[in-house]
Amino acid sequence: TKIGGAMVPAVTDTFFTALTAGFNGMPVIKTALKTIGGLATHGQDRITLNQIGLLGEYALNRAVSANRLSEVWGYGASARFADMTVRASGLNYWTTSLKETFQLEMAANLGRQVGKTFDKLPRRIRKSLERYGINSTDWNLVRGNELYSSAKLMDFSKIENKDTLTKFVAML
């Protein structure tokens, strides 16, 4: 089927992940290498994402996409077969691993910036935040929080303001 062959062109996702990293002010080569390496650390990445408050997004995405994909893949046996094919081809694992690794790298990159005021952030990072409606008030709320672990990840589970939290989770 065509779905089963989707993994072949998905290999270029690493390139687009690196491009996105550069666009958002993240280290390009480091992000690309971590993305490839993330395939091996996928399980630990999920634990870390959960601890910094980002894993719940996957349950929400799955629920929303289940309804949307029923229009494309159908219902019942045909939907189960399509889902099984995507999982068996490795595409589901690949896509999830890329997404999780990118989120961790973004959390690390933001963690490295907490000593800077919003106006002193590198231009690409500031523009990335602004695209999601994150302003200096939001940044100051978040940058004052304790970082997660020795990896110095921005810990989104510590954000108490729901509007600010929504903006950061949308960005990631």
The answer, as to whether pTM is greater than 0.75, is no
pLDDT given at position 143: 92
d(CA 100, CA 55): 9
Q: Which two tokens stand for residue 172?
A: 């990631």
Per-residue pLDDT tens digits of the chain, which is 172 residues long: 455 555 556 667 777 877 887 888 888 778 777 776 665 555 666 667 766 666 655 555 555 555 555 555 556 676 677 667 766 777 777 777 778 888 888 888 999 999 999 999 999 999 999 999 999 999 999 998 888 877 788 888 898 999 999 999 888 8
d(CA 139, CA 126): 10
pLDDT given at position 63: 52
For residues 18 and 28, the answer to whether their CB atoms sit within 8 Å is: yes
Residue with tokens 């408050």: 53
d(CA 57, CA 134): 19
